[in-house]
């Protein structure tokens, strides 16, 4: 292991460009490379990890490398970190990277003259073409060494080695008598010995035969047991030695596994333990695959860092509605909207938790157990009475939409479709709906507060939806603002309860009047605002890191709401770099900042200004 410490000299610190160049250079080394700063240690080959550190000018950092090229890695990375400005930083890192790539390409081209085996090509840095290179590899502690098309003197004082031949490789053994390689734990594969050593071994065999003939008996010769193969362990980030696949999954570290894959050790580790299925899958992956980390996670059935961030986000959202440990442990079976429900049904889930929303229940999907969290409502599209027991569909802690209730109590179609013609409010016994059009430029925080405060005057539960969108909808300030309603949009007001008709009529009048009444000023310790990302590169790692640093200065709970790269509405912790990066916020994305706390208004204002100023960039 080699390490060195320095201080960041660049006036702008490690923002996006130098971080990207730094990670590119770090990734070109075979050694495990880590960066220590501010009491934390992170993988130097991960852009997310580097960006999350928030490294500015003057920050003291330590580079730690462990592997074949550890000294070179530390020397070059330290030299890059000591650059005086951004361009010098990027230029140095790029120059070193190109030199390494050129050197590797040259060695690879030379190796391809003797072999096309992928395993050998992937381990070009552990190939010795001459005695000097063999000496270097042994000096670095390399255990498995490839000897290519040359004669090599094997040092017998260096035990625990595996020598593998490529082409016509010859091992020169300087010894006056045959060597017990098993005792030294030195193994040879595809390698021939030099002529002198062969003659020495033949003489011993000849003497042994003469001795056997002289003392020949009828006893059965002793059979020497085959030496047990030594299997190496994979060393994870937490220092644990992993020797079986269950431990690998339990302590899975993406950076370590990717490095071991590129070194070829992961494949050897699997083959040595006869994990044939995983080994076959590994062989199909190219070291240059853009989705290498994701594919390795899929092979071993573990979550990617993005999956972990998304799961944490869902768990935090679920904790707003329940503290039940059993439900929290089953967060992957919780549906927050209709799309989540569809995903779970496609996966064949039999027990599904429905959280604080309206969900259309497909009756063709039998043998399901639906459990409600918060105010979950089941919408049954078929108005005819259904025998849920016959379909083996069960509901727990879930209320039905009032159309379903009405179908149980009303006897005629006329009764179910009775309407109030003057107010255009459609209603049944305890439900009512009305459709109208937004006539203000945008339904912002003030308008949402006016609607929610007005709705609280009624006993009925109220939703505001886009017209013809029966599922989902908004019944709180955040959900209404994130619907992004603008002038001309048609909306439906739905109310359920004893005063539903009155609630719908008055709320329709409120919308038609332009949302007069309460504003954000009337809500204590709460603020919300919406803007659009205008920077051409979107919220890439550097502004995301700065955004998180700004948000972390405030005491308030801050959330960022937007549609992610899959066009799904998401609400994430604005103080988490992993969650912000997992959103994939590009130019043109509309984002809403929500804060709750004593400094909520200042927090939202500062973050909105940061986004509107294009993150402080002029390009």
Active site residues: 15
Q: Give the pairing type, strands 425-427 and 419-420.
A: antiparallel
What residues contact 395, with CB distance under 8 A and at least 6 apart? Answer: 370, 372, 378, 388
**Angstrom distance (rounded) from CA 170 to CA 168:** 7
Contact 439, 452 (CB under 8 A): no
Distance CA 268, CA 122 (A): 12
Question: Strand, helix or coil at 188?
Answer: strand
Strand partners, 596: 526, 557
The label of the residue with tokens 């008709």 reads 501
Q: Which two tokens stand for residue 113?
A: 């003259």
What residues pair up with 377 in beta bridges, in sequence order? Answer: 358, 399
Crossing angle of the two packed helices 445-455 and 500-512, in degrees rounded to 10: 160
Q: What share of the chain is helix, strand, coil (3-state, %, to 5)?
A: 40, 20, 40
Distance of CA 607 to the CA centre of its chain: 25
HEC sequence for 218-286 = CCCCCCCCCCCCCCCCEECCCCCEECCHHHHHHCCCHHHHHHHHHHCHHHHHHHHCCCHHHHHHHHCCC
What is residue 216's three-state secondary structure? Answer: coil
DSSP for 488-541 reads: T-EEEEEEESTTHHHHHHHHHHHHHTTS-S--GGGSTTEEEEEEE--STT-S-H
* Residue 494 φ/ψ, nearest 5 degrees: -125, 135
Q: How far apart are CA 502 and CA 223, in angstroms?
A: 96
Residue 166 Cα distances to 111, 128, 398, 409, angstroms: 9, 10, 68, 84
Bridge partners for 360 per DSSP? 379
Q: Are strands 161-166 and 569-573 parallel, antiparallel or unpaired?
A: unpaired
User: Which conformational region is residue 294 in: left (phi greater than 0), alpha (psi within -120 to 50 degrees), or beta?
Assistant: alpha
Place of tokens 């070829």: 264
Q: Is the dihedral of CA 515, 519, 523, 525 positive or negative?
A: positive
Is 146:120 a contact under the CB 8 Å cutoff? yes
Written as six digits, the tokens of 130 are: 């001459």
Taken in order 383, 364, 398, 484, the sign of the CA dihedral is negative
Separation between Cα atoms, residue 157 and residue 545, nearest integer Å: 51
Q: Rounded distance, CA 194 to CA 122, Å? A: 28
What the block records as the tokens of 518 is 């309460």
* Strand pairing report for 358-360 and 377-379: parallel
Q: How far apart are CA 596 and CA 557, in angstroms?
A: 5
Q: State the Cα–Cα distance between residues 298 and 32, nearest whole angstrom.
A: 23
């Amino acid at each position: 292991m080699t390490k060195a410490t320095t201080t960041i000299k660049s006036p702008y610190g490690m923002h996006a460009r130098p971080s990207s160049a730094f990670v590119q250079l770090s990734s070109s080394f075979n050694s495990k490379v880590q960066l220590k700063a501010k009491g934390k240690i992170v993988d130097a080959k991960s852009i997310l990890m580097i960006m999350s550190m928030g490294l500015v000018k003057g920050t003291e950092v330590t580079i730690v490398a462990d592997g074949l090229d550890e000294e070179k890695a530390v020397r070059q990375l330290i030299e890059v970190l000591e650059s005086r400005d951004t361009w010098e930083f990027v230029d140095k890192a790029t120059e070193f990277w190109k030199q390494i790539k050129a050197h590797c390409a040259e060695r690879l081209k030379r190796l391809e003259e003797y072999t096309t085996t992928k395993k050998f090509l992937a381990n070009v840095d552990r190939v010795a073409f001459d005695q000097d290179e063999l000496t270097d590899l042994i000096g670095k502690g390399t255990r498995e060494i490839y000897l290519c098309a040359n004669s090599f003197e094997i040092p017998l004082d260096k035990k625990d080695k595996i020598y593998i031949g490529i082409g016509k490789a010859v091992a020169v053994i300087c010894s006056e008598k045959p060597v017990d390689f098993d005792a030294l734990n030195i193994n040879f594969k595809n390698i021939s010995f030099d002529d002198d050593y062969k003659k020495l071994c033949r003489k011993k065999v000849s003497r042994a035969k003469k001795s056997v003939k002289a003392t020949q008996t009828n006893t059965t010769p002793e059979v020497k047991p085959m030496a047990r193969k030594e299997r190496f362990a994979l060393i994870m980030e937490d220092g644990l030695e992993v020797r079986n696949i269950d431990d690998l999954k339990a302590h899975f570290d993406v950076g370590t596994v990717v490095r071991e894959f590129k070194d070829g050790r992961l494949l050897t580790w699997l083959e040595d333990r006869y994990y044939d299925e995983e080994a076959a899958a590994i062989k199909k992956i190219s070291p240059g695959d853009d989705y290498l980390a994701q594919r390795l996670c899929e092979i071993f059935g573990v979550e990617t860092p993005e999956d972990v961030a998304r799961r944490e986000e869902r768990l935090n959202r679920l904790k707003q509605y329940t503290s039940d440990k059993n439900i929290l442990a089953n967060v992957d079976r919780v549906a927050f909207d209709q799309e989540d429900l569809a995903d779970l049904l496609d996966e064949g889930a039999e027990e599904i938790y429905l959280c604080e929303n309206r969900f259309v229940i497909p009756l063709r999907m039998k043998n399901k157990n639906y459990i409600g969290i918060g105010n979950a409502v089941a919408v049954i599209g078929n108005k005819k009475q259904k025998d849920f027991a016959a379909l083996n569909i069960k509901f727990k802690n879930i209320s039905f939409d009032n159309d379903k209730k009405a179908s149980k109590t009303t006897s005629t179609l006329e009764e179910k479709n009775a309407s109030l013609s003057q107010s255009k409010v459609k209603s049944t016994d305890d439900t009512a709906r009305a459709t109208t059009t937004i006539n203000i430029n945008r339904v912002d925080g003030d308008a949402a507060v006016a609607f929610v405060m007005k709705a609280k005057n009624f006993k009925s539960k109220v939703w505001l939806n886009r017209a013809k969108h029966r599922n989902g909808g908004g019944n709180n300030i955040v959900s209404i603002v994130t619907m992004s309603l603008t002038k001309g949009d048609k909306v439906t007001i739905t109310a359920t309860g004893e005063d539903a008709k009155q609630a719908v009529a008055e709320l329709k009048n409120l919308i038609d009047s332009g949302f007069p009444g309460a504003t954000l000023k009337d809500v204590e310790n709460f603020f919300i605002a919406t803007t659009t990302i205008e920077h051409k590169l979107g919220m890439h790692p550097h502004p995301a890191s700065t955004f998180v640093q700004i948000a972390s200065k405030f005491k308030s709970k801050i959330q960022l709401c937007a549609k992610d790269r899959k066009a799904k509405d998401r609400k994430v912790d604005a103080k988490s770099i992993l969650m912000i990066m997992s959103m994939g916020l590009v130019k043109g994305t509309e984002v809403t900042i929500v804060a709750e706390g004593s400094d909520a208004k200042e927090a939202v204002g500062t973050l909105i200004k940061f986004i509107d100023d294009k993150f402080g960039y002029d390009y």
